[in-house]
Amino acid sequence: MPKPGQILSWVLLLGVVGYSLFSSQIGFPAYRDQHLGTALHMSTHGIDLENALILGFNANQKPTLQEIPLWQAGAAWMLRLGDGWVGGANLFSLACFLLGIWPIWQIAQRLVGPQGAWWCLAAYLSQPVVFYYAGCASTDGLSLSAALWSYETVRRFSRQGGWGWGFLALGWSVVAALMKAPFFMAAGIAVAAPLAWERVWFPGTWCRLVSVGIFSAAAFLAWTRYTDRWLEQAIWPLVDLRLGHNPEMVFWYFGDWAYRLDPMVWIKAAWRFGNSICGSFALGGVIVGGFCLKNNQEGRAWLLGATCTTLIFSHLVLHHSHYFLMFAPAAALALGGAISWLDQYIVPKMKIPAALSHLAIAIILAASLIQGSVGREVVLQFDPFPKKAARSLAEHTSPQDRLLIVGGGWGGNLLMLSQRDGLSLWNTELLESKGNLAKAVEFGFTKLVLIRESPLLVALQKTNPGGAEYSAKPFSDYLTPAAERFPILYQDEQLMIRQFPQPYPSRERR
């Protein structure tokens, strides 16, 4: 007979799949545009590294490689099978996420045994950040699964040895490092910490662990050099992603001491973290109690790994809630372990019917999932504005146009939705140079597009403490004098399209 935790885990897993496919079917799929856009481009132009570009990221359409594009390639293949249906990318993400179930199950079994492991799995699936990104068309689910596999295989290899575990550890660690280095770092610290706590000083154990780390670091450095060679070929990149050439990227990844010591940074992050991991803040105390369980060493190790990684990559993690996925294994072990302990030792003493206590647990986890999703502003997934703006853009431009888009984000979302080609800009400062203006004409740019923030996003910003006066920037804030001279072809409250100046005829043609 299925156990209560098992039933709840299956219900949540079906909910993850159902939510992802239903939202895709009604036209509001969960995705991150910089990843889905690459997959869509690969699906029509060929699955290879030279087509791993972020839409609109540079003027000459050079590949913009960050993580190794394994997800993009797999999603592109699914998009081809589905004739461009975005749900194919969501399905591929779900498959990548499901890869991580085996290692999280193995860790949970060591903590509370097979029966209690189901509660850990339920605690894992009910975290709002996990529930959303499991089926989101992005690299995040695969990155988390790779980190979990890296952890489990490296743990076994370092403790047991064996060529089989060694090859698996090297393979998964390289994938994890090239997908998301912070995830790999968190997993690596989580492996090493218990060895120190247990005072395991056997040279062979540490040599195996360190050798995997060195090999993975070498692969990461080689990949970075390869990606930098592509990035240096980009003309007018929206952002120069090379650490050695752009000091702003150093802050973007690591922050600085002023950022780390600002209390408001951590207060805001704590709010977002609570919504992403706990859902209901009332569960925070239960999770803390779960970390105090004597045998939850691996949960504490994951917490240490994720925390240390956050202190290093402070701005990157605190500014992007999908990096909170690093904490998901730790929270699942703590919450699942606490539920298992309560179910085994406390509920029988209180003489509460088991069915009633299990129902209460299911209701609490479901309520916290809903509460956390609302707190994470999941409503933005169903914002009709991007699709509406894309329709207007498609109506007032032609497929032959090349667009300069200001205010459309950095992942090419508007280009992807309108099926147009172009370049994303932060403002029109680039066009103040006559040389750049002439070069833009040579590149074939024909129209300048300005787009204001979504009304729904503005409304949500107004609800933040101190944000009552927030409003979307007017078009004039994006325009510089040269761009203001471009004639207006179309304008409404949210979108403006201006005609790019035509090239002057040469003397011969005169």
Indicate the residue among 355, 379, 403 that finishes a domain: 379
pLDDT for res 467: 67
CA distance 40 to 474: 32
CA distance 137 to 155: 30
Instruction: Specify the amino acid at residue 175.
Output: V
Q: Which of 502, 487, 474, 319 is nearest to 406 (CA)?
A: 474
CA distance 208 to 157: 7
pLDDT for res 106: 96
User: Are 210 and 125 part of one and the same domain?
Assistant: yes
User: Are 196 and 318 part of one and the same domain?
Assistant: yes
3-state DSSP assignment of residue 450:
strand
Domain containing 478 equals 384-499
User: Are 353 and 392 part of one and the same domain?
Assistant: no
Has residue 505 been placed in a domain?
A: no
User: Are 356 and 477 part of one and the same domain?
Assistant: no
Mean pLDDT of the chain: 92
Has residue 459 been placed in a domain?
A: yes
* pLDDT at 492 exceeding the cut of 80: yes
User: Are 357 and 419 part of one and the same domain?
Assistant: no
User: Are 250 and 298 part of one and the same domain?
Assistant: yes
Q: Which of 168, 215, 208 is nearest to 191 (CA)?
A: 208
CA distance 148 to 158: 15
pLDDT for res 469: 76
pLDDT for res 168: 97
Has residue 186 been placed in a domain?
A: yes
The answer to whether 460 touches 445, Cβ cutoff 8 Å, is: no
Confidence grade of residue 223 (pLDDT, cut at 50, 70, 90): very high
Has residue 506 been placed in a domain?
A: no
Provide the 10 A C-beta neighbour count for residue 482: 17
Q: For residue 102, what are the contacts with CB-CB under 8 A and spacing of at least 6?
A: 149, 152
Tell me phi and psi for residue 21, to 5 degrees.
-70, -35
CA distance 469 to 239: 30
Per DSSP bridges, beta strands 445-451 and 495-499 are antiparallel
The answer to whether 459 touches 473, Cβ cutoff 8 Å, is: no
User: Are 224 and 272 part of one and the same domain?
Assistant: yes
The residue behind tokens 């209460």 is 360
The answer to whether 340 touches 123, Cβ cutoff 8 Å, is: no
Q: Which of 252, 227, 240 is nearest to 426 (CA)?
A: 240
Give the pLDDT confidence of 180-218 residue by residue, as tens digits: 999 999 999 999 999 999 888 889 999 999 999 999 999
User: Are 367 and 390 part of one and the same domain?
Assistant: no
Indicate the residue among 351, 379, 407 that finishes a domain: 379
The residue behind tokens 């701005």 is 315
* Total structural domains within the chain: 2
* pLDDT at 162 exceeding the cut of 90: yes
CA distance 510 to 508: 5
> Helices in 293-342 by DSSP H: which ranges?
297-312, 314-319, 328-341
CA angle 205, 208, 211 (to 5 degrees): 145
* pLDDT at 246 exceeding the cut of 50: yes
Q: For residue 142, what are the contacts with CB-CB under 8 A and spacing of at least 6?
A: 70, 71, 93, 96, 97, 99, 179
Give the pLDDT confidence of 391-414 residue by residue, as tens digits: 999 999 999 999 999 988 888 999
pLDDT for res 509: 39
Which of residues 145 and 354 earns the better pLDDT score? 145
Give the pLDDT confidence of 275-329 residue by residue, as tens digits: 999 887 778 889 999 999 999 999 999 999 999 999 999 999 999 999 999 999 9
The residue behind tokens 């154990």 is 205
Has residue 59 been placed in a domain?
A: yes
Has residue 250 been placed in a domain?
A: yes
Indicate the residue among 379, 403, 424 that finishes a domain: 379
User: Are 178 and 65 part of one and the same domain?
Assistant: yes
Task: Supply 192's token pair.
Answer: 């090493």
Task: Supply 53's token pair.
Answer: 């570009």
Instruction: Specify the amino acid at residue 428.
Output: T
- Residue 412, class by beta-carbon neighbours within 10 Å (0-12 exposed, 13-18 middle, 19+ buried)? buried
Has residue 509 been placed in a domain?
A: no
User: Are 129 and 157 part of one and the same domain?
Assistant: yes
User: Are 101 and 159 part of one and the same domain?
Assistant: yes
Has residue 305 been placed in a domain?
A: yes
User: Are 371 and 404 part of one and the same domain?
Assistant: no
Burial 269-291 (b: 16+ CB within 10 A, else e): beebbbbbbbbbeebbebbeebb
